[in-house]
Amino acid sequence: MAAGLPPALDRPHFIGIGGAGMSGIARILAQRGASVAGSDAKDSATAASLRALGATVHIGHDAAHLAEDTSAVVVSSAIRADNPELVRARERGIPVVHRSDALAALMAGTRPLAIAGTHGKTTTTSMLAVSLTTLGLDPSYAIGGDLDAPGSNAHHGTGEIFVAEADESDRSFHTYAPEVAVVLNVELDHHANYASIEEIYESFETFVGKIVPGGTLVISADHEGARELTRRVRDRADLRVLTYGSAEDADVRVHKVTPRGLTSEVTVSLNGKLLTFTVSVPGSHYAHNAVAALVAGVSLGVPLHNLASALRSYTGVKRRLQLKGEAAGVQVVDSYAHHPTEMAADLEAMRGAVEGRILVVFQPHLFSRTQELGKEMGQALALADSSLVLDIYPAREDPIEGVTSELIIAAGRAAGADVSPLHAKDEVAEAVAGMAKPGDLVLTMGAGDVTDLGPAVLDRLAAGPHHPEQ
C-alpha cells in the first residue's frame, strides 16, 4: 500500500468518477500514490486530467470494469442501487465506501476546515484554498467545482491544513470532524432528503456537534436560519462561536461593501479595529463569503492582514459568475445558481457590475426543488430585465406530475418579471441574438447543462444580425 493512504483506499474504483466531488477525492488519492480507477457516463476534460495522473477511467458503466484487485468501490448518494458496477461489488464482497467517508479518511492527521451552508460553499472553500496557497501554506483541499482548469478542484498539499466543502444535501457532512467549521446559511432545500426546515436544523446541529473540542464555528449573523442554529448550539462549553455579517451584533461586522466594477472593496471590524480589503469578484453575497473565509483562516492561526491581502488572488470558480466571453458588445456569464437565494444574489451582483440590461437563460434543477421553490425562483427572476426559462433538468430524479417550468414562469409574471418559456435548448442562441444589444449581459443560470449554451450564444452574437432572404 502506498504511503499515507487510508486502509482499503489504495486500489479504489469510483463509480461516477467525473463528478465534482468524486473526481476531487480520486485526484488526491492518485497524488498520494493510490492505483485509482473508475467509470463515468461520458468522457470529459476531468476524466482526461485524472488519466494524466495515472488513473484508469472507463466510459460507461459495466460490471467488467471492476479490476480483480479492487480494494474498495467509492460511491456518492447519486449512484443507484442497480448500477452494474455496484451490484458486482456487492456480489464479490468488495467494500463499498461513501464519498464522504473517503474524504474523511483523507483528512486524518490534518487540521480540517469544513465549509457548509445551503449555498456559497464552493466559492468560500475556493477562496480559502487559493488564499492559503498564495501564502505558501500548501493546503490540501477538496472543492465542489473547478477553479480555472479541469482537475483544480482538489489537491494533496504538504501543509497541515485541509480545506473541504461539506455537503449537507445527503447528510454526508456528519462524517467530518473539523477543527474549524463554517456555516454560511441554513435554508430549506434538498427536498428529496429533508421533509422540513426542522430536519435541516437538526442535521446542521449534528454537523456542529462534530467540531473537535476547543474548535471554532464561524457562522453568519445575517441569515435567520444561521441565527437560529447559533441559538441552538451557542451554549456548548467546548465550542468557540464567531459570527460575521452586517448585523450590529456580529462578532466580525461588515460595515460596507463598495462595488468597484467586477471587484468589491470590503470594510470590516474585528478585535476593535477596522480593516479594508479587496475581493476580486462582484457583489455583496461574495464579499460576505470572503469575510467568512477570512474569519475561518484567522481561527486556524493564519495572520489576519496576510490572509486579507491574499484573498484578492481569488478570481472565481467555474460556473460561479464565470465570464465566458464577449461578442457584439454583449458579455456572456455563467452561473451555477439554482436556489432562489443564490439566483437573487447573482442577479444583484451583476446589476451592480454592468450598465446595460441583464438577460437570463434559466434552467430549473430538479423536479422536487421546483415543486417546493418554483414560486421563489420566479420572484428572483424579476430582478432580471428579461428571462427565458428552459425545461426542468431532472438530474437523478423522475418527473413529478404537474411540476414543470410553468410554475416558475407563472410566479415570475405575477411578480412583474418579463419571463418566457423556451423548450428547445438549440433555439437559445437565436433567441438571445434577437434580444441582446451592445452593453447587455447574458446570464446562463442553473446547475444542469445550461452551462453548455454560452459558447453557442457567443458564436451566434459574433455572426451578427440575422438577415432573411429578400
Catalytic residue among 70, 85, 125, 165: 165
Report yes or no on 239 lying in a domain.
yes
Q: Are residues 304 and 345 in the same domain?
A: no
Please check whether residues 125 and 269 belong to one and the same domain.
yes
Task: Return the closest-CA partner of residue 181 out of 121, 257, 236.
Answer: 121
Residues 67 and 136 in one domain: no
Do 260 and 349 contact (CB within 8 A), yes or no? no
H helical segments located in 189-271: 197-209, 224-233
Q: Which pairing describes strands 441-445 and 358-362: parallel, antiparallel, or unpaired?
A: parallel
Query: Does 229 lie in the same domain as 173?
Result: yes
Q: How far apart are CA 355 and CA 346, in angstroms?
A: 15
- pLDDT score for 190: 66
Read off the C-alpha cell for 127. 477562496
Q: Where are the beta strands (DSSP E) in 406-450?
A: 419-421, 441-445
Number of structural domains (the chain) is 3
Q: Are residues 267 and 166 in the same domain?
A: yes
User: What residues are designated binding site for ATP?
Assistant: 117-123
> With the CA atoms of 423, 427, 429 and 430 taken in that order, what torsion angle do they form, in degrees rounded to the nearest 10?
-130
291 and 375 in a common domain: no
Give residue 185's Cα distance to chain centre. 14
What pLDDT is stored for residue 319 in this prediction? 65
Question: Mean pLDDT per 10-residue run, the chain (470 residues)?
Answer: 65 93 93 96 90 96 96 92 96 94 94 93 91 95 70 88 92 94 88 82 96 97 96 94 97 92 88 90 87 97 95 76 86 89 86 85 93 94 95 90 95 94 92 92 92 92 65
Residue 339 lies in a domain: yes
Among 178, 257, 168, CA closest to 218: 178
Options 70, 121, 179, 342, the catalytic residue: 121
Same domain flag for 260 and 305: yes
301, 343: one domain: no
Which one of 313, 340, 370 terminates a domain?
313
pLDDT of residue 147: 65
CATH code for the domain of 455? 3.90.190.20
Residues 251 and 147 in one domain: yes
Q: Which domain holds residue 301?
A: 109-313
Instruction: Please tell me the distance from the alpha carbon of residue 162 to that of residue 139, in angstroms, as a whole number.
Output: 6
What CATH number should be reported for the domain holding residue 163?
Answer: 3.40.1190.10
Q: Are residues 90 and 114 in the same domain?
A: no
pLDDT score recorded for residue 5: 65
Phi-psi region of 329 (alpha: psi -120 to 50; beta: other; left: phi over 0): left
Q: 430-445 pLDDT, tens per residue?
A: 999 999 999 999 999 9
Laid out side by side, the sheet with 72-75 consists of: 56-59, 37-40, 12-15, 72-75, 96-98
CATH code for the domain in which residue 87 is found: 3.40.50.720
pLDDT for the residue 467: 46
What pLDDT score was predicted for residue 151?
Answer: 54
Q: Which residues are annotated as a binding site?
A: 117-123
Concerning whether 121 is annotated as a catalytic residue, the answer is yes
Q: In the prediction, which pLDDT does 19 show? A: 87
Residue 165 annotated to the active site? yes
Q: Express each pLDDT in 288-336 by its tens digit.
A: 999 999 999 999 999 999 999 999 888 766 666 788 889 999 989 898 8
